[in-house]
A and B are shown apart, each in its own frame.
Chain A
Amino acid sequence: MSQTKRFKQGVSIFLVLTLAIGMFSGCGGSAQTPPSSAAPGSSSPAPQSKVADVQQQAQSSDDFDWKQYEGATVKVSFVQHTVADAIVSKLPEFTEKTGIQVEYSITPEASYFDKLSTSLSSRSGDPDLFMSGAYQLWDYSTAGFVEDLGNFLGDASKITSDYDFEDIVPSAVAALRWNGIPGYPVGEGAQLALPLAFEIYSLAYNTRAFAENNLEVPKTYEDLLKVCDALQGWNGPGSYAIALRGARDWGTIHPGYMSTYANFGAVDFAQQDDKLVSMVNSPEAIAMTEFWVELIKRGGSSSWSNYTWYEAGADLGAGKAAMMFDADNNGIHQNWDGASQEAGNIAWTVMPVAKEGDTPNSNYWTWAMAMNSASKNKDAAWMFLMYFTSKEFAHYASVDMNSLDPARTSVWDSDAFKSKMAKQPGYIETYNATIDSTTILFTPQPYFFETTTEWAATLQDIVAGQYGSVKEGMNALKAKIDKAVSDIDLSAYY
């Protein structure tokens, strides 16, 4: 080998190594993990009753030194959402009260989590606060990106006596607590975030469609299928009975499907020999999926496999769909005066169950605010969090603005909110009938998005007839999910 060639090879190897080291050191960020981040197995000292005790020792809002972090700047990442609009409109008041400057970015949901994941993984401390759902927090907290808010809620010097933590809807608070151990349900462990708004799942329906066809609103699965038969084409060509999500992503599984899945008595995972094992091929899961496929075929849109939140809501508002089994507040946005063709004709009822009187178990989605564990302004960020999860702000966001569903019980109980929602028949009643049996029905684990997206893809394939039976499809799904979570070793957490 000539000297020149060896030199060239040496230079090439040096450059490749330099590039690789540069990238890995860059991607790795700081190796230091702040001690207060929500580490797996950690337990926050702040369930609601304990916070109530702490509040008794705290100063009132009038005596509290809101200016103690004057001059600090807090960076906040918002997803495009009605609650973000409400917060942004109150930022001048917050800055005036605290002297804290706020820089914010608002990003549409479709791109939001890509951007956020990049920012959090850099460990740069930007943003200090970020909006998130509970499912994403399982991922982020496992990586050590999320501050345990119990550290603030449990400190009498950081909270005001009138913060009234117990007023925050308990199931929403619980949905954002997790001990970081895969397979353990939410409700214990670190407080990963505080809720700003949430959604539960119910049946929205077009009152005109039911009145014109002399139909009763369905209460059971059997009723639902019968009504679907009667409502196909109810409003001319292209109209159909029930709007359901069907796109090939996790969003298809978590609303109506997962709620019904739980109501059939099915679970997604079980723990066996320190492993998580998928239960999607259990008899209950297969029976439920057979019902769901039947529902799609007898009542769903011909474009069901493309349907997300937007298409489902838009079809209900446009008079194409007579019913929608989705988030309770999805239909609300179609029912404000002038918002859609069918505005004023939409009403809500509890989701159908096996037999009348059964408990309607609903899955949960929360939009919450979490703190970056690498933040360099944690105390100032906490002031922001406390201010924008307060009773006063929650009332403003839901009554004066359009943030739904409010995360404060006092807002649900207020006359102003009831008056605002008077034109949304059944909405508050459905909430009251469902909220006590609402929780996150998925088993927390760090591969949530991978497994639920696979689930949605299999559901599409079953509906498309690519499997000989639902059982065959669910067996194949179980194998894929088991493989995806195979590296989770539960013994490592004990």
Chain B
Amino acid sequence: MSQQTQLLDSSQNRKTMLILEDFGRNLGLTFYALFALFPLVWMVICSLKADAEMYNTVFVFTPTLDNYKAVLLGTDYFKAFFQNLVVSGGAVLLTVVAGVPAAYALARYDFKKKEDVAFQILSFKFAPEIMVILPVFLIFQKIGLYDTYFGLIWVYQLITMPLLIWVVRGYFEDISVEVEQAAQLDGYRWFDVFFKTLVPLIKPGLVASGLLAFIFAWNSFTFPLVLSGFNIQTITITSLRYIASDTVHYGQVAVAALIAVLPEITARLFIQKHLVRGLSFGAVKG
């Protein structure tokens, strides 16, 4: 066999290997995508099934929109959705307004017990919610915060604040003090330095931790279960109502869950570019 033929064969083998490698990679990713998306697909299927077909059919059934009608028109689902949005959005907003300056102070200023304060904030996440719920409930009853938007927004800070402060603090620490000093030399006031120089630099971390804080607040169950109910009922509590006393209306549960994840998916898609960078930067801070 001539050298030229050998080279040709070798090149063809490499091409074949590359094609096989691509094919294998895509096949693997396709399987992973199917695996990852299957719960979502299964929920969509369940949401289109009547109760009578729920246990007897898998993929072949007569689709119906009755579950959507029952949930969206027959119950106060939208009210709960809106209330959840107000409480979770409000909680994240308050966290950002209070947490970013707190993170800056913890990163920049030297004061006594700084690390203890930072650890104290982190420690809010240590205890399970059910452990602190009774005293919080009693205090809320006494000071009139029970079953109010502000009460829930306030108590949600236990969920959202530690995460944001610790992620954003890492970002501030990573920004050189000289950047601020240079801006001040150029005549910027401190607020301008903060908003025009520092905030853009911490944006990936702020966005990523803000989104995670929103997801945690949106999915919170114990606090809204005990601290509200008559005037405010969040979507996590309302969704369980389709597990009725007569039977579990799995189709309606699926509709409620599908719509409940929409804000999280939408928010994630909008800020996807910041998300991975934000979280990975925050993760390696020393």
Contacts and interface: CB of A to CB of B under 8 A. Distances in A.
Given A82-B246, A105-B233, A122-B138, A339 B51 contact: yes
Contacts of B284: none
Interface stretch (B33-41, B156-164, B181-189, B224-232): B224-232
Contacts of B139: 26
Interface string B10-47: 00000000000000000000000000000000000000
Interface in A322-377: 333-334, 338-341, 343
A334 B247 contact: yes
Interface in A6-65: 22-23, 26-27, 29
Interface residues of A, number: 45
A124 interface: yes
A107 B247 contact: no
Contacts of A127: 230
Contact of B230 (A22, A75, A317): A75
Given A26-B138, A121-B134, A122-B138, A79 B245 contact: yes
A494 interface: no
Contact of A111 (B50, B146, B240, B248): B240
Contacts of B149: none
Given A122-B137, A126-B141, A338-B50, A108 B56 contact: no
Contact of B237 (A107, A109, A314): A107
B52 A29 contact: no
B243 interface: yes
A401 to B, nearest CB: 11
A103 B138 contact: no
Contact of A115 (B229, B246, B248): B229
B134 A108 contact: no
B241 interface: yes
B233 A80 contact: no
B244 interface: yes
Contacts of A103: 230-231
A372 B244 CA distance: 25
A108 B229 contact: no
A402 interface: yes
B225 A107 contact: yes
A340 B137 contact: no
Interface in A101-147: 103-111, 114-115, 118-119, 121-122, 124, 126-127
Interface string B135-178: 10111010000100000000000000000000000000000000
B135 A80 contact: no
B245 A109 contact: yes
B241 A314 contact: no
Contact of A22 (B56, B135, B141): B135
A77 interface: yes
Nearest to A341: B56
B123 to A, nearest CB: 13
B133 A118 contact: yes
B55 to A, nearest CB: 4
A275 interface: no
Given A115-B229, A124-B141, A106 B135 contact: no
Nearest to A19: B135
Contacts of A81: 244-245
Contact of B135 (A27, A110, A314, A340): A27
A27 B245 contact: no
A334 B55 CA distance: 12
Interface in B43-95: 50-56
Given A318-B56, A319-B56, A339-B51, 17 more contacts: A80-B243, A80-B244, A82-B245, A105-B229, A107-B240, A108-B241, A110-B240, A114-B225, A122-B137, A122-B141, A313-B247, A314-B55, A317-B52, A318-B54, A318-B55, A333-B247, A341-B56
Interface of A: 22-23, 26-27, 29, 75, 77, 79-82, 103-111, 114-115, 118-119, 121-122, 124, 126-127, 310, 313-315, 317-320, 333-334, 338-341, 343, 402
9 contacts: A22-B135, A79-B245, A80-B241, A80-B243, A81-B244, A107-B225, A314-B54, A338-B52, A340-B51
Interface of B: 50-56, 133-135, 137-139, 141, 146, 225-226, 229-231, 233, 237, 240-241, 243-248
